[in-house]
Amino acid sequence: MSQGFNNEKDDSQDKKKAIRKIVKEYKKIKKYQKSPLCEVKKLSGDQTYVDKLLKDYGVDPETLK
């Protein structure tokens, strides 16, 4: 028997899992940004995890508007 339309269902589930993973990582980063540990690192002059990400990937100019 052939799978038929089951492949589309599997693809959508994979996409949902990927989105959940990205949202989870985003929430983790935002929580870290608000933490006192992040503030201490900023004040001491050390480079934080968020600073490293911004350096690697940059800032989208459209989000700053």
The tens digit of pLDDT for each residue in 10-50 reads 778 889 999 999 999 999 999 999 999 999 998 999 988 88
Listed residue (2, 5, 50) closest to 26, CA to CA: 50
Q: How many domains does the chain have?
A: 1
Contact present, 31 and 51 (Cβ < 8 Å): no
pLDDT on residue 13: 86
Confidence of residue 51 (pLDDT cuts 50, 70, 90): confident
Of 3-12, 13-22, 49-58, give the lowest mean pLDDT range: 3-12
Residue 18's domain spans which residues?
Answer: 8-64
| Domain-located, residue 2 | no
pTM of the model: 0.64
Element (H, E) at 15: helix 6-34
Alpha-carbon torsion, ordered 38, 39, 42, 47, to 10 deg: 0
| Domain-located, residue 25 | yes
Contact present, 48 and 29 (Cβ < 8 Å): no
| Domain-located, residue 53 | yes
DSSP conformation class of 13: H
